[in-house]
Amino acid sequence: MKPKLKPLSDQIVVLTGASSGIGLATARTAAERGAHVVLVSRDDEDLARASRDIQDRGGRASHYVADVADGSAVRGLAQHVVSEFGRIDTWVNNAGVSVYGRIEDVSLEDARRLFETNYWGVVNGSLAALPHLRSGGGALINIGSILSDTGYPLQGHHAASKHAVKGFTDSLRLEVEESGAPVAITLIQPAAIDTPYPEHAKSYLGVAPKHLPPVYAPEVVAAAILRCAEKPERNVLVGGSGKVFAASEKYAPRIFDLMKEATAFEGQQSGLPARDDDTLHRPRPGDGRVYGNYPGRVLQSSAYTTARLHRGRTLLGLAVIGAGLLVANRSRN
């Protein structure tokens, strides 16, 4: 059965990792467009503040404290939402953390905790949401990364977790489609985004980590997520650099390896002191911000992603341009 997704203004939307970054940006935008958003994270203080802020702006919002690594807590979240609102229309598995350091330096305890959040958090959320989405139809949206398709130095465990998220999501989609359930399953793969992500990460580098450009605004990802909440999509790369990454990995992997070796080691190290209050094992209250501290230019849009998500409009625009050029050419002749 082909999924029929509701207009966002009629939806109950659950967002994990919603106390900061992409999750918070998505919650705010969804509420502005009329959805009731349920914000979820481990951080009660920042969640409550974010929920109140949305309400003060006239939006509909509530919050629920849960660690996505705890399957029973996530199942409790799903049951709470259904009991409170009667249904779930879109569920976004966005919670994520990172560790910067050479793989041989990162402790297995930290690597396992990263996977508990980034991979098992997606699994727990998907399995909790699916029974409810199956009954009423809806969208399940998992957040991967452009690193879902390639390796990357100093973020090896993070890249591995995002590979796992992609494999899980693509496999789950096949099984859900074959069963005939009216559920759209989407993988969103963002490029580098200006959120507190590097500040929240644990660093083994001796310095604070940083993004390499190009870096995009979190609203670019939020727009892609919410587009997929209304229109079924399979996998969506956010940011033109993501398409470059994917193409380079496919067609010139060795050259791409050499480029990453030449740029990604030094380029991910800021030179500033590393923080000792990362959010890998516990939240950091009082830091519920959408934006990070990236010092360079932040791109506010992505022509590639816009074209990818609005193919009809893009093709029409190209046709109009082509027709105009044809007319102009004939008039000169």
Give the per-residue pLDDT at 322. Answer: 40
Task: Let me know if residue 233 belongs to a domain.
Answer: yes
Which residues span the domain enclosing 213? 8-301
pLDDT at 317: 40
The model's pTM is: 0.92
316 has pLDDT over 50: no
Residue 309 has pLDDT above 90, yes or no: yes
Residue 310 lies in a domain: no
Q: Binning pLDDT at 50, 70 and 90, where does residue 98 land?
A: very high
Q: Are 303 and 240 in contact (CB under 8 A)?
A: yes
C-alpha triplet 198, 105, 196: angle, nearest 5°: 5
Note whether 4 and 182 are within 8 A (CB): yes
Quote the CA–CA distance of 248 and 12 in Å, as a whole number: 38
User: 245 near 255, Cβ under 8 Å?
Assistant: no
pLDDT in tens, 105-132: 999 999 999 999 999 999 999 999 999 9
CA distances to 95, 212, 288 from 102, in Å: 23, 17, 28
Which of 62-66, 82-86, 264-268, 283-287 comes out lowest in average pLDDT? 283-287
The per-residue pLDDT for 1 is 66
Residue 332 is predicted with a pLDDT of 47
pLDDT at 313 over 80: no
Here the CATH number for the domain that contains residue 26 is 3.40.50.720
The predicted structure's pLDDT at residue 321:
32
Asked whether the predicted pLDDT for residue 151 surpasses 80, the reply is: yes
**330 lies in a domain?**
no
Mean pLDDT computed over every residue of the chain: 93
- Residue 331's pLDDT is 44
Structural domain includes residue 315: no
Instruction: Answer yes or no: is pLDDT of 201 > 80.
Output: yes
Range 226-237 average pLDDT? 97
Q: What is the CA radius of gyration of the chain?
A: 20
In a domain, 154, yes or no: yes
Domain count, the chain: 1
Mean pLDDT of 277-285: 94
Higher pLDDT, 319 or 146: 146
Residue 180 lies in a domain: yes
Report CA torsion sign: 209, 215, 221, 224. Answer: negative
- Residue 309 is assigned to a structural domain of this protein: no
Bigger pLDDT: 153 or 331?
153
Per-residue pLDDT at 12? 98
The pLDDT value given to residue 111 = 98
Alpha helices per DSSP H over the chain:
21-32, 44-56, 71-85, 108-118, 120-136, 156-179, 197-200, 218-230, 240-251, 253-267, 303-309, 311-332
285: tokens are 């209250």
Residue 312 domain flag? no
308 has pLDDT over 70: yes
* pLDDT computed for residue 2 by the predictor: 78
